[in-house]
């Protein structure tokens, strides 16, 4: 029996979806589902291609309450810039959760991943940031530095933003972009410690392998979202920070133990401390921030659940639209 | 930088590729690469969707000597026939092994899997079947029963073929199809034991969970290829057969221990016995059949290496052809 598959390019996707609270809502729904019954989220399939300085990750998750499930393939080939190509590429495939038939192919080159990753930061800000944020800060100056601050600002409309990056030129560029995008005062700052000191909400977005945020920087009423670490060996947050927080939240504990900030803390023998999964807090099954003076940390490593969420959301946005190329098979 | 992705449907694929010795050759090359240095073949990513009576497997492999690598997604949704849909679907994605860019999307609904699976049987026949096959036999009556016999016949042009299946009507239909396809005498037979007794080459192609071939059926000069078992719990060959053979060959030992005939033999405590990997024999690194009287068994569970092989082969066949839909992204 023939059926139609919609193939949608990155450019077409950019014309129909951007970062907004609807994206955060659907990602929040995915985290809630992840805390419930009937979820299936296998470990990430990961393949390193050493000869090409490349790697490929495959993520997926089946979530009750979603009509489809996504399989996402994310290649990262780090010599590509020498060839004038981006390092990151990839696609998402949306399948019917009822029949397994391919419904859509999103040739997004990582665009949907960028959105769903930022939206997870939005969910973290929604549930863990203090109600009043005077100043937010971002560590890092890349795509996620920008998107994370946009997602956070949708939840907590702060009026002042600080940016720190190793490269002052990139930090200045990022600050200018965010000032324009958010219409607020954005400044660069010379040291991460000075940034944290002034902020109630901090997001770290770097591929650091040595901690940038240390426990001496902590102060009451601080929330940190760490989203840079997604591989063994990456580490933005010093182990003692996890132990010093009132609450450490993982997007998925089993994954954060391997590739998140929790890995270094475990290696340092700093367990046990108060932990929860993001989905459990979203679903009301675990406690989040208890007071405006709490110090909280949310560790985001990226889940297949978010991919299923955003792919399903895009498919709904596209329903009935002529966007993309329809292939009958 | 924009690049082109070719999207090819099952129907288009069927117009350009069928089962021939070139397919067996490229799959043989993949097995040879699998025995060498630099291969990366992660464990299968598998997700069961119990609510929908479905499952999804993702396989991949990087093989030195191939310009691309495939990621294959195989959904199996076993209530689909009630909806008038096939149980098996899926697609293969071919990536550049140099840049990770998507090159082709083969919306094959399992057709390329059928071919590469049969071709592995062809490789097994090429390397393990006695030189002279008077009579071949197939256990099972489905798509693979037909394709396995075609692949074997390309390697060993036997003149007589026996078919056994639980359902005599399906067996008769399969025999008629194979008689027409191969232009030889094909008969059904009432019992598996009688089939094995008369054959020098037997291929088992069933989803059996209780052994069909038992050690009392063995005779000198027999080769068996067992390709039906690809999941824990499936079992076509009694454990004692593995121990009684002169040589047991796995497509991948680590995988056959989990989902192949080797699993039951291990569970029965029947190790150690003479084992080899198919690729090692193909590459001349391990010994195959030693005499016309040897009894050999080849256990095929399906590898990502075969997917990379056939996807690369199809891409070569399509190079410069207008087949498919080109999407610029």
Same-domain status, B245 and B200: yes
Q: Is residue B249 part of a domain?
A: yes
What does the block give as tokens for A287?
A: 């406690």
A93 touches chain B (CB under 8 A): yes
Residue B246's pLDDT is: 96
The tens digit of pLDDT for each residue in A296-307 reads 999 999 999 999
Cα distance between residue B269 and residue A123, in whole Å? 51
Q: Is residue A121 part of a domain?
A: no
Same-domain status, B94 and B221: no
Region for residue B169 given its phi and psi (left: phi exceeds 0; alpha: psi -120 to 50; beta: otherwise): alpha
Same-domain status, B98 and B141: no
Measured torsion, CA atoms of residues A193, A197, A202, A206, in degrees rounded to the nearest 10: -10
Q: Is residue B265 part of a domain?
A: yes
Q: Which residues contact A241 (CB under 8 A, 6 or more apart)?
A: A211, A213, A214, A215, A218, A224, A297
Q: Radius of gyration over alpha carbons of chain B, in Å? A: 19
Q: Is residue A225 part of a domain?
A: yes
Same-domain status, A311 and A237: no
Pairing, β A91-96 against β A68-77: antiparallel
Q: Do A56 and B71 touch (CB under 8 A)?
A: yes
Helix axes A111-128, A21-34, angle to 10 degrees: 80
Same-domain status, A295 and A320: no
Find chain A residues with C-beta within 8 A of B98's C-beta: 52, 77
Cα distance between residue A41 and residue A62, in whole Å? 6
Same-domain status, B23 and B106: yes
Q: Where are the alpha helices (DSSP H) in B59-110?
A: none
Section A207-227 average pLDDT: 97
Domain range holding A81?
4-113+305-328
Output the domain CATH number for residue B77: 3.30.1780.10
Q: Is residue B119 part of a domain?
A: no
The tens digit of pLDDT for each residue in A4-21 reads 999 999 999 999 999 999
Same-domain status, B109 and B10: yes
Which helix (H) or strand (E) covers residue A46, if one does?
strand A45-49
Residue B2's pLDDT is: 77
Distances (CA, A) of A139 to A197, A221, B91: 13, 18, 40
The tens digit of pLDDT for each residue in A164-181 reads 999 999 999 999 999 999
Residue A307's pLDDT is: 97
Residue B1's pLDDT is: 63
Same-domain status, A46 and A103: yes
Q: Do B329 and A11 touch (CB under 8 A)?
A: yes
Distances (CA, A) of A198 to A217, A225, B77, B146: 10, 16, 54, 72
Same-domain status, B224 and B271: yes
Output the domain CATH number for residue A277: 3.40.50.720
Q: Compute the mean pLDDT over every residue in chain B, rounded to the nearest whole number.
A: 96
- The answer to whether the beta carbons of residues A92 and A106 sit under 8 Å apart is yes
B-proximal residues of A, 4-33, CB under 8 Å: 5, 7, 9-11
What does the block give as tokens for A152?
A: 């956070």
Residue B272's pLDDT is: 73
Section A117-143 average pLDDT: 98
Distances (CA, A) of A156 to A120, A127, A132, B320: 14, 11, 7, 54
Q: Is residue B235 part of a domain?
A: yes
Return the DSSP state at B44: P
Of B5, B62, B101, the CB nearest to A49: B62
Pairing, β A135-139 against β A160-164: parallel
Which helix (H) or strand (E) covers residue B282, if one does?
helix B278-282
Q: How confident is the model at residue A1 (pLDDT cuts 50, 70, 90)?
A: low
In sequence order, what are the beta bridge partners of B106? B8, B92
Which residue's entry shows tokens 């009822």?
Answer: A98
Same-domain status, A170 and A97: no
Q: Is residue A122 part of a domain?
A: no
Strand ranges, E, within A123-279 = 135-139, 160-164, 185-188, 201-204, 223-226, 247-250, 275-277
Find chain A residues with C-beta within 8 A of B56's C-beta: 60, 69, 71, 95, 100
Same-domain status, A109 and A231: no
Q: Is residue B118 part of a domain?
A: no
Of B52, B49, B69, the residue nearest B60 (C-alpha) = B69
Q: In which residue ranges of chain B is pLDDT below 70?
A: 1
Same-domain status, B274 and B204: yes
Distances (CA, A) of B140 to A40, A296, B77: 33, 60, 21
A-proximal residues of B, 138-177, CB under 8 Å: none
Question: Could you give the number of structural domains in chain A?
Answer: 2
């Amino acid at each position: 029996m023939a059926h139609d598959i919609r193939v949608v390019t990155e450019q077409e996707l950019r014309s129909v979806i951007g970062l907004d609270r609807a994206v955060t809502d659907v990602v929040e729904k995915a985290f809630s589902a992840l805390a419930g019954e009937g979820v299936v989220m296998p470990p990430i399939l990961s393949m390193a291609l050493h000869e090409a300085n490349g790697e490929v990750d495959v993520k997926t998750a089946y979530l009750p309450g979603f009509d489809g499930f996504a399989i996402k393939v994310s290649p990262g080939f780090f010599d590509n810039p020498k060839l004038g190509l981006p390092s990151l590429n990839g696609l998402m495939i949306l399948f019917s959760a009822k029949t397994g038939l391919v419904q859509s192919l999103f040739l997004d080159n990582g665009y949907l991943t960028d959105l769903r990753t930022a939206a997870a930061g939005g969910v973290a800000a929604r549930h863990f940031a203090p109600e009043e944020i005077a100043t937010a800060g971002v560590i890092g100056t890349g795509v996620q530095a920008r998107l994370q601050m946009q997602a956070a600002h949708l939840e907590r409309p702060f009026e002042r933003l600080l940016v720190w990056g190793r490269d002052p030129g990139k930090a200045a560029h990022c600050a200018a972009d965010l000032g324009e995008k958010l219409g607020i005062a954005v400044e660069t700052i010379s040291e991460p410690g000075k940034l944290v000191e002034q902020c109630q909400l901090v997001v770290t977005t770097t591929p650091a392998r040595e901690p940038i945020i240390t426990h001496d920087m902590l102060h009451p009423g601080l929330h940190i979202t760490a989203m840079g670490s997604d591989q063994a060996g990456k580490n933005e947050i010093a182990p003692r920070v996890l132990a010093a927080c009132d609450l450490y939240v993982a997007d998925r504990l089993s994954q954060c133990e391997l590739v998140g900030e929790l890995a270094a803390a475990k290696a340092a023998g700093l367990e046990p401390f108060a932990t929860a999964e993001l989905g459990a807090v979203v679903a009301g099954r675990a406690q989040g921030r208890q007071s405006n003076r709490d110090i909280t940390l949310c560790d985001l490593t990226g889940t297949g659940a978010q991919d299923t969420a955003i792919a399903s959301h895009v498919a709904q946005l596209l329903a009935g639209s002529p966007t993309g190329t329809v292939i009958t098979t």
